[in-house]
Amino acid sequence: MTSPVVCETRVAVRYAETDAMRIVHHASYIIWFELGRVEYMKQIGSDYAAIEHSGHFFAVTEVGARYLSPARFGDTVKIRTWLDEVRSRTLVLRYEVRLEESDRLLATGFTRHVCIDGAGQVTAIPEDVRALLAATLNSAA
Amino acid sequence: MTSPVVCETRVAVRYAETDAMRIVHHASYIIWFELGRVEYMKQIGSDYAAIEHSGHFFAVTEVGARYLSPARFGDTVKIRTWLDEVRSRTLVLRYEVRLEESDRLLATGFTRHVCIDGAGQVTAIPEDVRALLAATLNSAA
Amino acid sequence: MTSPVVCETRVAVRYAETDAMRIVHHASYIIWFELGRVEYMKQIGSDYAAIEHSGHFFAVTEVGARYLSPARFGDTVKIRTWLDEVRSRTLVLRYEVRLEESDRLLATGFTRHVCIDGAGQVTAIPEDVRALLAATLNSAA
Amino acid sequence: MTSPVVCETRVAVRYAETDAMRIVHHASYIIWFELGRVEYMKQIGSDYAAIEHSGHFFAVTEVGARYLSPARFGDTVKIRTWLDEVRSRTLVLRYEVRLEESDRLLATGFTRHVCIDGAGQVTAIPEDVRALLAATLNSAA
Q: B78-95: per-residue pLDDT in tens?
A: 999 999 999 999 999 999
In a domain, B1, yes or no: no
Per-residue pLDDT reduced to its tens digit, D78-123:
999 999 999 999 999 999 999 999 999 999 999 999 999 999 999 9
Mean pLDDT across the stretch B113-139?
Answer: 91
Nearest by Cα to D38 from D85, D120, D93: D93
pLDDT value at B138 more than 70: no
* Contact indicator for C113, C58 with CB cutoff of 8 Å: yes
* Contact indicator for D64, D109 with CB cutoff of 8 Å: yes
In a domain, A112, yes or no: yes
pLDDT value at A116 more than 60: yes
Residues of chain B in contact with residue A26, where contact means CB-CB under 8 angstroms, are 30, 60, 63
- The residue ranking higher by pLDDT, A141 or B112, is B112
pLDDT value at C2 more than 60: no
The minimal CB distance from D27 to the residues C20, C30, C66 is found for C30
In a domain, B2, yes or no: no
Contacting chains of D (3 CB pairs or more, <8 Å) are A, B, C
Residues of chain C in contact with residue A20, where contact means CB-CB under 8 angstroms, are 15, 18-20, 22-23, 72-73
Q: Quote the pLDDT of residue C141.
A: 40
Nearest by Cα to D25 from D68, D65, D70, D74: D70
Helix, strand, or coil (residue C104): coil
Which of D13, D15, D19 is the mutation pick for testing B, counting most B CBs within 10 A? D19
In a domain, A1, yes or no: no
* Residue pairs spanning A and D at CB distance below 8 A: 34
Sign of the CA dihedral with C20 first, then C24, C29, and C32 last: positive
User: What is the 3 state secondary structure string of chain D?
Assistant: CCCCCCEEEEEECCHHHECCCCCECHHHHHHHHHHHHHHHHHHCCCCHHHHHHCCEEEEEEEEEEEECCCCCCCCEEEEEEEEEEECCCEEEEEEEEEECCCCCEEEEEEEEEEEEECCCCECCCCHHHHHHHHHHHHCCC
The minimal CB distance from C22 to the residues A20, A27, A72 is found for A20
What is the amino acid identity at position C7? C
Nearest by Cα to C44 from C138, C105, C116, C135: C135
Burial of C127 (0-12, 13-18, 19+ CB in 10 A): exposed
Per-residue pLDDT reduced to its tens digit, B98-116:
999 999 999 999 999 999 9
Q: Give the separation between CA A40 and CA A34, rounded to whole angstroms.
A: 10
Q: Quote the pLDDT of residue A1.
A: 42
pLDDT value at D28 more than 80: yes
The minimal CB distance from D60 to the residues C59, C67, C120 is found for C67
Mean pLDDT across the stretch C76-89?
Answer: 97
* CB within 8 Å of C119: residues ≥ 6 apart: none
Mean pLDDT across the stretch A120-139?
Answer: 90
In a domain, C2, yes or no: no
Which of C13, C25, C28 is the mutation pick for testing A, counting most A CBs within 10 A? C25
* Contact indicator for D111, C67 with CB cutoff of 8 Å: no
pLDDT value at D126 more than 80: yes
Find the closest chain C residue to B49 by CA distance: C74
Chain B residues whose C-beta is within 8 A of a chain C C-beta are: 12, 14-16, 31, 34-35, 38, 47-50, 52, 72-74
At residue D53, φ and ψ (nearest 5 deg) are -60, -30
- Looking at the DSSP assignment, which residues form a beta bridge with residue C77? C11, C99
Per-residue pLDDT reduced to its tens digit, B57-69:
999 999 999 999 9
Beginning with the edge strand found earlier in the chain, give each strand of the sheet holding A56-67 in spatial order: A7-12, A76-86, A90-99, A105-117, A56-67, B56-67, B105-117, B90-99, B76-86, B7-12
Q: Give the separation between CA C134 and CA C87, rounded to whole angstroms.
A: 9
| CB contact (8 A) between residue C64 and residue D61 | no
Residues of chain C in contact with residue B15, where contact means CB-CB under 8 angstroms, are 34, 38, 48
Mean pLDDT across the stretch B18-24?
Answer: 96
Per-residue confidence band for B139, with pLDDT thresholds at 50, 70 and 90: low
* CB within 8 Å of A53: residues ≥ 6 apart: none
Q: Give the separation between CA B111 and CA D74, rounded to whole angstroms.
A: 32
What's the whole-model pTM score? 0.95
- Total domains in the fold of chain B: 1
Q: Quote the pLDDT of residue C139.
A: 57
The pairing of strands D90-99 and D76-86 is antiparallel
Per-residue pLDDT reduced to its tens digit, A27-60:
999 999 999 999 999 999 998 989 999 999 999 9
Nearest by Cα to C35 from C114, C97, C107: C97
Residue B23: CATH number of its domain: 3.10.129.10
Q: Quote the pLDDT of residue B3.
A: 55
Which of A19, A21, A57 is the mutation pick for testing B, counting most B CBs within 10 A? A21
**Alpha carbon C2 to chain centroid, angstroms:** 21
Chain D residues whose C-beta is within 8 A of a chain C C-beta are: 20-21, 26-27, 30-31, 34, 52, 57, 59-68, 70, 120
* CB within 8 Å of B80: residues ≥ 6 apart: B6, B7, B8, B36, B95, B96, B97, B98
| CB contact (8 A) between residue B22 and residue D25 | no
Helix, strand, or coil (residue C6): coil
In a domain, B63, yes or no: yes
Q: Quote the pLDDT of residue A136.
A: 87
What whole-number percentage of chain D has pLDDT above 90?
87
Domain that holds residue A91: 7-138
pLDDT value at C1 more than 60: no
* CB within 8 Å of A17: residues ≥ 6 apart: A24, A25, A28, A73
pLDDT value at D136 more than 90: no
Q: Give the separation between CA D20 and CA D71, rounded to whole angstroms.
A: 13
Residues of chain A in contact with residue D34, where contact means CB-CB under 8 angstroms, are 14-16
CA–CA distances in Å: residue B45 to residues B32, C86, D122: 20, 47, 37
Per-residue confidence band for A139, with pLDDT thresholds at 50, 70 and 90: low
* CB within 8 Å of C94: residues ≥ 6 apart: C81, C82, C83, C84, C108, C109, C110
Q: Quote the pLDDT of residue C137.
A: 82
At residue C71, φ and ψ (nearest 5 deg) are -105, 155
In a domain, B27, yes or no: yes
| CB contact (8 A) between residue D72 and residue B25 | no
Whole-number average pLDDT of chain B: 93
